[in-house]
Amino acid sequence: MACPFLEDVLDDDSPILRRAFRHERVFRDRSDPLAFGDDYLIERYRFSGDGLRYLCRLLGPKIQPQMAQSHALTVPMMVCVTLRFFACGSFLHSVGDAENLNKETICRTIRHVCLALKSLLNMFVGFPSHLSTMLVKEGFYKISGFPRIIGAMDCTHVPIIGPLGEHEADYVNRKSIHSISVQMTCDQVTHQSIVTSVVARWPGSVHDSRIFRESALGHQLQQGLFDGLLVGDRGYACTQLMTPYPDPDTPPQSRVNAPLGKCRVRIEMTFGVIKCRFNCLRGLRVRPERACGIITACVVLHNIAMMRKEQTPHAPLVAAADIIDPVMDHPTTVAGSAPKRDTSLGRGSSNRDDITFQRFQSRQAAKSSDGIPAVPANTSPGKAVFVITQRLDRRGFCI
């Protein structure tokens, strides 16, 4: 009992009662995720054991807890928690139940790992490729026969469900869903579609051509900093990149669209592989700012997986003929017997007309007796030397 004659009235029994009703801290069992086999890890985290160890060494200095608290998440646990969310795309509490963690811890961990992956963007994503430009041109030429292609570009939509604020209408795309419009380019080297540039910051209602026009890549192509051509669909203006003829009127123009479609299908297949590897990109339940960071982090992880030759998920193949172009809203050249230059369309239209006239004007190039392509009789001497030189270069890197 408390003594009434003491200045500080204390109950002698209160410490005993507090100790009796105190709840002991229960630490959940956190098994080492790297102790499982590769099949188990790939199914849940999309990376093998060696790939997870590489990510831990890569991200460890950036996500290692600064305070030496007991029972803090280790680097492998933080990496695996984030990868599990990226792979399944479910609710945070579902990921927490699978990893024996609460929802708040899952949210903070994903945020830290995303920021660390975004800081590595320039290391793993670079245009035109992490390999030589010649290898990229050879890769596209082998699949399409089209010369000087250094990348395929397109935009994809990542649906989002979250607080959009007063600008909610800006995120409604043409399919009447809220989304983030993401622009990507990819290369084609040894059948590996690696993302070479990514822009993930525009609402879904913004047109693809505006995203490209205001991107850093668009300004660099306008300045002529790259030796090669970029391929896009009809949604882009034929200014700094190659686009197919919207309404081909001549056989050469039709034969140009076929190889262009084979090049453009690579970026569509890349979108499919990324979304199959990371199902969270099929629908994010976060704010737009967080969604852009998650998209960028998934692109970095995709490039790491492709460079390390991790197991690729089974994505549905997309044929070139299955791609349906959006409504054409840009001016095009008028087809005729000979290409007519429209200077308002820029270098892309000029290159397309040159290649159409030089390489696709006949189905089978006439051959002379010594194997050199024949030149029409009405061609000037200077033009004849130019045409022969271009046709002798089978890979087309001199155009």
CA 184 to chain centre: 5
Q: What is the pLDDT of residues 24-62, one digit of tens each?
A: 655 555 668 888 899 999 999 999 999 999 999 999 999
How would residue 153 be classed by pLDDT, with cut points 50, 70 and 90? very high
Looking at per-residue confidence, does 100 or 15 come out higher?
Answer: 100
Q: What phi and psi values does residue 279 have, to the nearest 5 degrees? A: -70, -15
Q: What is the Cα–Cα distance from 301 to 294, expressed in whole angstroms?
A: 11
Nearest to 195 by CA among 137, 155, 241: 155
pLDDT higher than 80, residue 312? yes
pLDDT higher than 80, residue 66? no
CA angle 245, 243, 215 (to 5 degrees): 150
pLDDT of res. 348: 63
pLDDT of res. 317: 54
Mean pLDDT of the chain: 79
Q: Could you identify the residue written with the tokens 């395929």? A: 152
Q: Give the type of residue at 54.
A: Y
Beta-carbon neighbour count of residue 73 at 10 Å?
20
pLDDT of res. 386: 41
pLDDT of res. 8: 52
Tell me the β-bridge partners of 241. none
pTM above 0.85, yes or no: no
The domain spans of the chain are: 33-119, 122-164+171-322, 364-399
pLDDT higher than 80, residue 311? yes
Looking at per-residue confidence, does 352 or 315 come out higher?
Answer: 352
Q: How far apart are the first and last CA of the chain?
A: 99
Q: What is the Cα–Cα distance from 119 to 113, expressed in whole angstroms?
A: 10
CA atoms within 13 A on the CB side of 217: 24
pLDDT higher than 90, residue 329? no
Q: What is the pLDDT of residues 355-394, one digit of tens each?
A: 777 766 644 444 433 444 444 444 444 444 344 344 434 4
Asked if 228 and 150 count as a contact pair (C-beta separation under 8 A), the reply is: yes
- E strands within 283-369? none
How would residue 158 be classed by pLDDT, with cut points 50, 70 and 90? very high
DSSP label at residue 154: E
pLDDT higher than 90, residue 323? no
pLDDT of res. 343: 44
Mean pLDDT check: name the lowest of 3-17, 94-108, 219-233: 3-17
DSSP label at residue 7: S
